[in-house]
Structure 1
Amino acid sequence: MQTNTASPPYASLVAVGDSFTEGMSDLLPDGSYRGWADLLAARMAASAPGFRYANLAVRGKLIRQIVDEQVDVAAAMNADVVTLVGGLNDALRPKCDMGRVRGLLTEAVERLAPSCKQLVLMRSPGRRGPVLERFRPRMEELFACVDELAAKHGALVVDLYGAPALGDPRLWDVDRLHLTAEGHRRVAEAVWQTLGYEPQDAGWHVPLPAAAPPAWLTRRVADIRFARQHLLPWIGRRLTGRSSGDGRTGAHFSAELGRPFWATPADDANPGPVTGWRQVGPER
């Protein structure tokens, strides 16, 4: 993983993707999500006055929707850095045409790579357990495509899938699909280092300390709660063709990070459609 002592000359960041990039489940007190992209943007902004950032990611989006709704918007912004993570929602569906997913991911990369100084792709993390084992072949097919596209288009790849620490169930929320706040912090550090910034936590990939497994009853209670609160609603959305992202638009603004350097391309009260940058707060 490359690192430099001087901060790279990046002055803007656009994040493209689904719930992983939107920030679920790094929940803030006001009910909004933060996530690794917001954390990364805050770090980058600290060393780049006038820094600009937009998070276009929306939960539940499939790769076709990401291409149709986010890619051209992101490309038009001509940001220094664009992060793209998508396709995993497709791969986790019972029926999935992986050839189509690879083709759409290729289309996204071919449109984004020429529009920015540095495109960043990821091999997404997976929570250890039966779901990961069931879908591992699809995930690895997706990640092989990511590696090929990165080599062809000069993109950086953040290998979160290859970091055993991020498979630890303790770094995943109760829905078993999204990282906790600590998980998002580790992802932000991984992307930060991959971009060439001086490490702030060289051990982001180090596993958590070993702990005794929870008791049988505790595990069964957790399984029942997971099924009732998350699995059954997820199955219901799949059967009815709905998505957790229906009616949502990207480009969110985090009040926690609303310092003068912060910028978003949309109106705070109505974040979309995104058409260009707008400074939030006074200039530095």
Structure 2
Amino acid sequence: MVTQQHPWSRYVAIGDSFTEGIGDPEPGVPGGHRGWADRVAEVLSQSTDDFAYANLAIRGRLIQQIIDEQIEPALELRPDLITISAGGNDVIRPRTDPDEISARFEYAIERLSRDRATIVVFTAVDVGFSPVFRGIRGKAAIYNENLRAIAQKYDCVVADQWALTEIQDTRMWDRDRLHLNALGHHEVARMVLRALNVENDLEPMKPEPLPQHSWRQARTQDLSWAREYLVPWVIRRIRHQSSGDLITAKRPQAGPYAARTEALADEARASDE
């Protein structure tokens, strides 16, 4: 794989399920999910001998939980590259204020800027393509504008998911319609590397035209999705539970990135001994 030399040697990712890699299962990696952050770390590790990577993200986390639980541990690892995606779980909740969420996000960025690391922030996805989340499109757009202003103030790199039209395709999303699948995470990884100006050999995804579904097929899929994902989500909200309860970070310490093939090879050697 072709990669250019870059200035970073210690990368820490913080956030929620998006950064944890949910929707992109890989049994051979820590936590059982790969995701865009692992993919970015894999590319960055190939041009730096002493590259180290930690991923502190946990599914279901709200922005205040990310601030309280992940910022100090991240700073203790002394990263020179930080990615933070936070606030998405807050934005999709009813009656939340994007301006208030943005104020918390700015507080997080102010703290993360302490050691002058490069910080990458993410805009929300343009959800206009999604019947499920189309109603919060305006709210997400307000949050994005606030986030861009924060990024400019603190000289952050913006990973612009709103403009990433490739993921405005239902085939880029997991069956729960909330998380990207392997194709989607791959596209986000490519976007992050472009934002960091790091050359790589990750191939662009070129989806074929979407298959046509009848009205009846679409409604059947909607009902199935509601039973499997929407109803449990509502029940968790009522019970004040999170999908991340009892989950810990998959890569809590910064260390060399081991690609899936290396992890599987280690497992094979261990089974032979």
What's the TM-score, normalizing by structure 1? 0.83
| Distance of aligned partners of 1:69 and 1:163 in 2 relative to their CA distance in 1, 3 Å threshold | same
Partner of 2:195: 194
Matched-pair identity in %: 35
Residue 229, structure 1, aligned to residue 228, structure 2: yes
Partner of 2:266: none
Partner of 1:242: 241
Residue 28, structure 1, aligned to residue 26, structure 2: yes
Q: Which amino acid aligns with 1:200?
A: D
The one-character-per-residue Cα deviations of 1:15-73 (angstroms, maximum 9, x if unpaired) are 01000000010012468111000111111111111211110000000001000000111
Partner of 1:263: none
The one-character-per-residue Cα deviations of 1:94-153 (angstroms, maximum 9, x if unpaired) are 121333211110110001123243100011324522233211121111111211111111
**1:212-223 matches, cutoff 5 A:** 212-223=211-222
CA distance in 1 between counterparts of 2:261 and 2:27 reads: 15
Gaps of 5+ in 1: 261-284
SS at match of 2:32: coil
Root-mean-square deviation (Å):
2.3
Q: Which amino acid aligns with 1:96?
A: T
Greater alpha carbon shift after TM alignment, 236-245 vs 159-168: 159-168
The one-character-per-residue Cα deviations of 1:220-273 (angstroms, maximum 9, x if unpaired) are 23212211110000000111111101122214388754859xxxxxxxxxxxxx
Q: Which amino acid aligns with 1:130?
A: P
Partner of 2:269: none
Partner of 2:111: 111
CA distance in 2 between counterparts of 1:16 and 1:62 reads: 12
CA distance in 2 between counterparts of 1:49 and 1:256 reads: 14
Partner of 1:273: none
CA distance in 2 between counterparts of 1:256 and 1:199 reads: 16
Residue 66, structure 1, aligned to residue 66, structure 2: yes
The one-character-per-residue Cα deviations of 1:192-237 (angstroms, maximum 9, x if unpaired) are 1211111434746xx6222332233332232122111100000001
CA distance in 2 between counterparts of 1:258 and 1:155 reads: 33
**1:26-175 matches, cutoff 5 A:** 26-29=24-27, 32-127=32-127, 128-175=129-176
CA distance in 1 between counterparts of 2:139 and 2:219 reads: 29
Q: Is the 8 A contact 2:59 2:243 kept in 1?
A: yes
| Distance of aligned partners of 1:198 and 1:112 in 2 relative to their CA distance in 1, 3 Å threshold | same
Considering Cα pairs closer than 8 Å and 6+ residues apart, tell me whether 1 or 2 has the greater RCO: 2
Greater alpha carbon shift after TM alignment, 93-102 vs 50-59: 93-102
CA distance in 1 between counterparts of 2:116 and 2:124 reads: 22
CA distance in 2 between counterparts of 1:45 and 1:68 reads: 29
CA distance in 2 between counterparts of 1:243 and 1:143 reads: 24
What's the TM-score, normalizing by structure 2? 0.86
Report the number of matched residues.
Answer: 255
CA distance in 2 between counterparts of 1:83 and 1:116 reads: 13
Q: Which of the two has greater helix per residue?
A: 2
CA distance in 2 between counterparts of 1:104 and 1:8 reads: 31
Q: Is the 8 A contact 2:13 2:57 kept in 1?
A: yes
Q: Which amino acid aligns with 2:173?
A: W
CA distance in 2 between counterparts of 1:251 and 1:76 reads: 17
SS at match of 1:58: coil
CA distance in 2 between counterparts of 1:122 and 1:100 reads: 17
SS at match of 1:48: coil
Greater alpha carbon shift after TM alignment, 190-199 vs 82-91: 190-199
